Amino acid sequence: MNTISYDVIVVGAGHAGIEAALAASRMGCSVLLMTMDIAAIGRMSCNPAIGGTAKGNLVREIDALGGEMAKIADVTGIQFRMLNKSKGPAVWSPRAQNDREGYSAEARRRVEAQESLHIMQDMVTEVLATDGHISGVDTGTGTRIACKALVVSSGTFLNGVMHTGLKKSIGGRFNEPPAVGLTASLEKLGFVSARLKTGTPPRVDRRSIDFSKVEEQPGDPDPQPFSFQTKEVTRNQVSCFLTYTNKDTHALLRTGFDESPMFTGLIKGIGPRYCPSIEDKIVRFADKERHQIFLEPEGRDTDVIYVNGFSTSLPANVQYEAMKTVPGLENVEMLRPGYAVEYDFFPPHQVKLTLETHLVKGLFFAGQINGTSGYEEAAGQGLVAGINAAIGVRGGDPLVLKRSEAYIGVLIDDLVNKGTSEPYRMFTSRAEYRLMLRQDNADRRLMEYGYRFGLIPADVHGSMRKKEERIRTLSEYVSRKSVPPSAVNSYLESIGSTPLNENEKLSQLLKRQDVRLSELLRLEFFTTDSLPLDAANQKDVVEQVEIETKYEGYIVRQQEEIERFDKYEAMEIPEGFDFQRVKSLSTEAVEKLTKVAPSSIGQASRISGVSPADISVLMVYLHG
């Protein structure tokens, strides 16, 4: 009998799976995307939003690398905001509310339109490996499919159990069955699994909300798209609404505590501290009299409202009664209760920085299976896993993004070296080189990779190079130009900045807090000067030059740090290196190093339990 065969199989068609499948097929592989429900491709399981602090940066990076998330989000966005706009550019983060159904449909459309990418609705029950190499999968319908690489991005479906009150049902998502058999199969191959928990709030009917009692939160007047390839966002935006819980709400919620699967110990998995359930919040912060509730529309053409901030696994009737105490929700109709879901994950020290597993060559893990939370974190991993699966099949150097070049690098490096005990979410504070990893320069950081892998079209890459050239030209002008007082003093006075007494370098002037390059360049002195106009007329070029000039001192310092950091990253540790051979290492270090199997000295230094002395010893040994 002929078995079906693909270069790459991707298990799970969520945000990680989509990116993995699209990237691998675009890189020339034959790809099979397996999902338990074709209608659920790209489904937003939780809040109908993409981006947010640090997460928005991830989306921009995915886009620069040639991923799909940003484009889908741009097409299906119903409200766009740039968060942290009042702060420095390094922490600006784009966020959008999205049309839940629209997002899924758009994702599916794109996956279906991709050549050499097949979709199959089936469940993988067995992962097959021969001599430490992946060889294929068996499915629930009894089919055996061969492959050269396998990406498992199964989300919350591995032995998923959902809880609402003391009622327990198996499944990975509302009304969707769990994936059974895969965990056991992976364990048979030697992998170790553990349990995590996450939750989601109830959904309510828009028509039952009294909007006179809630606060409107509109989108930005000038919405910025996620993708470097989207010219602009033109469609009308919709608003979200803010309201608050109160003492009555908390009192009502407490009546359900004896039926809480969390407090009664029914749930064993560890949930995310940054996304606690409402019952968790009122217990841990008992003196807080109110909590924010965001009412987020799930789309333009639907009445479903997502009650953000009210994640809960209390009994459905308690959820309902408690919501009714919240201003604006007095007559609320609950469409479906919130729930908590427990699922298997595989502690991520079991994967390399390429996301390939240590145990089985050609087997990759991406997304929640690695202990992360969030669509963006999943998509970033999916993209890296898909690229590296394709490289594994077709040959070439794998993609490992450094902490100094991408949040995706920080994400995977953290997972592999530190592990995680709760669903891992990205924050800007996790990135030590935060000032460099901005959303505005993701193209400059990463598009070169995307182009090299064939995921970024030549014309897009070409305009990035052109932009880079213009930035250089304008930067030179800015650092060279000396500005007389007469040219800028009326502008400086208009923004309340001290006027000049003598000529000053434009670059120096720009370091002032409120001085904007875009505004300066509009002054007559500059427009009539030898200003490189084709650069000065590009908003994104001016923005880059302004940021790099304004924060030069800090950026230069970070760059120096990065150079030092890169030196250690470049010191390779050979694959399969036996740390026990190095007798001068501490016992703890040998154990941790063996477990994580770092690929560089830099990586080794970030593993907890490995001391600077251990690193010195290792460096000396490896040079020997």
Partner 1 sequence: MYLRLKDNDTIAAIATPLGEGGISVIRISGAAAFDVADRVFVGKGSLSESPSHSAHFGRAVDASGKYVDEVVAVTFRAPNSYTCENVVELSCHGGYLVTQKLLQVILDAGARAAEPGEFTKRAFLNGRLDLSQAEAVADLIHSQSEAAYRSSMRQLSGDLSREIKAIRDELLNLASLLELELDFSEEDVVFANRIALDDRMSDAVAALEKLLLTYEVGRVYREGVRVTIAGKPNAGKSSLLNSILGEGRAIVSDKPGTTRDTITESISIGGVLFRFTDTAGLRETADEIEREGVERAEKEAEKGDVVLLVADYGEKYYNGTIAEYARLSDICAKVGVKFVRVWNKIDLYPAEAPRIAAEGREFYVSALKGDGIDFLKNGLKELALGKEVNESTVVVTNSRHRDALARSKRSLGLALDTLRSRKSGEFVALDLRAGLNALGEITGEITTDDVLNNIFSKFCIGK
Nearest approach in angstroms of CB 276 to partner 1 is 5
Beta-carbon contacts of residue 23 (< 8 Å; ≥ 6 apart): 66, 67, 382, 383, 386, 387, 390, 453, 455
Binding residue for partner 1 (CB under 8 A) from 401, 558, 573, 590?
Answer: 558
Nearest approach in angstroms of CB 63 to partner 1 is 22
Build a one-symbol-per-residue string for 28-47: x at contacts with partner 1 by CB under 8 A, - elsewhere: -------------------x
Binding residue for partner 1 (CB under 8 A) from 57, 198, 308, 475?
Answer: 308
For the residues of 379-436, what is the DSSP string, one character each?
A: HHHHHHHHHHHHHHHH-SPPP---TTT-HHHHHHHHHHHH--SS-B---GGG-TTTTT
Count the site residues for partner 1 by CB under 8 A. Answer: 65
What are phi and psi for residue 487, nearest 5 degrees? -70, -30
Q: Which of residues 408-447 bind partner 1 (CB under 8 A)?
A: 418, 427-430, 432, 434-435
Q: Residues 120, 182, 122, CA angle at the centre, nearest 5°?
A: 15
Q: Does 214 bind partner 1 (CB under 8 A)?
A: no
Build a one-symbol-per-residue string for 165-204: x at contacts with partner 1 by CB under 8 A, - elsewhere: ----------------------------------------
Q: Does 88 bind partner 1 (CB under 8 A)?
A: yes
Binding residue for partner 1 (CB under 8 A) from 21, 29, 54, 151?
Answer: 54
* Among 297, 376, 424, residue whose Cα is nearest residue 56: 376
Comparison of 103 and 294: residue with beta carbon closer to partner 1:
294
Nearest approach in angstroms of CB 192 to partner 1 is 22
Q: Does 454 bind partner 1 (CB under 8 A)?
A: no
Q: Does 284 bind partner 1 (CB under 8 A)?
A: yes
Nearest approach in angstroms of CB 57 to partner 1 is 12
Q: Is 394 exposed, middle or buried (0-12, 13-18, 19+ CB in 10 A)?
A: middle
Q: Which of residues 494-523 bind partner 1 (CB under 8 A)?
A: 513
* Among 116, 108, 113, residue whose Cα is nearest residue 24: 116
Nearest approach in angstroms of CB 347 to partner 1 is 16
178-204 burial code (b ≥16 CB/10 A, e <16):
bbebbbebbeebebebeebbbbbbbbb
Q: Does 313 bind partner 1 (CB under 8 A)?
A: no
* Among 151, 165, 163, 167, residue whose Cα is nearest residue 195: 163
Nearest approach in angstroms of CB 172 to partner 1 is 22
Binding residue for partner 1 (CB under 8 A) from 291, 352, 358, 444?
Answer: 291
Comparison of 52 and 181: residue with beta carbon closer to partner 1:
52
Three-state secondary structure call for residue 190: coil
* Among 364, 339, 368, residue whose Cα is nearest residue 350: 364
Q: How far apart are CA 112 and CA 130, in angstroms?
A: 31
The span of 96-104, 467-475, 484-492, 549-557 binding partner 1 (CB under 8 A) equals: 549-557
User: Are 17 and 375 in contact, with CB atoms under 8 Å apart?
Assistant: no
Comparison of 453 and 579: residue with beta carbon closer to partner 1:
579
User: Are 401 and 447 in contact, with CB atoms under 8 Å apart?
Assistant: no
Q: How far apart are CA 10 and CA 117, in angstroms?
A: 10
What are phi and psi for residue 615, nearest 5 degrees? -65, -40
Q: Does 461 bind partner 1 (CB under 8 A)?
A: no
Q: Does 465 bind partner 1 (CB under 8 A)?
A: no
Q: Cα dist. 167→162, 171, 267, 446 in Å?
A: 8, 13, 12, 47
For the record, the structure tokens of 341 come out as 């879901």
Q: Does 617 bind partner 1 (CB under 8 A)?
A: yes
Comparison of 56 and 392: residue with beta carbon closer to partner 1:
56
Q: Does 485 bind partner 1 (CB under 8 A)?
A: no
Q: How far apart are CA 591 and CA 573, in angstroms?
A: 16
Q: How far apart are CA 493 and CA 491, in angstroms?
A: 5
The span of 226-234, 251-259, 537-545, 604-612 binding partner 1 (CB under 8 A) equals: 604-612
Binding residue for partner 1 (CB under 8 A) from 102, 136, 276, 367?
Answer: 276
The span of 69-77, 333-341, 375-383, 612-620 binding partner 1 (CB under 8 A) equals: 612-620
Comparison of 258 and 588: residue with beta carbon closer to partner 1:
588
Q: How far apart are CA 316 and CA 224, in angstroms?
A: 39
The residue type of 433 is Y
Look-up of token digits 């609404």: 241
Three-state secondary structure call for residue 98: strand
Nearest approach in angstroms of CB 372 to partner 1 is 15
The span of 230-238, 472-480, 489-497, 607-615 binding partner 1 (CB under 8 A) equals: 607-615
Interacting residues with partner 1 (CB under 8 A): 47, 52-54, 83-84, 87-88, 90-91, 244, 272-276, 281, 284-285, 288, 290-292, 294, 308-309, 311, 418, 427-430, 432, 434-435, 513, 551, 554, 557-558, 561, 564-565, 567-568, 582-585, 602, 605-606, 608, 610-613, 615-617, 619-621, 623-624
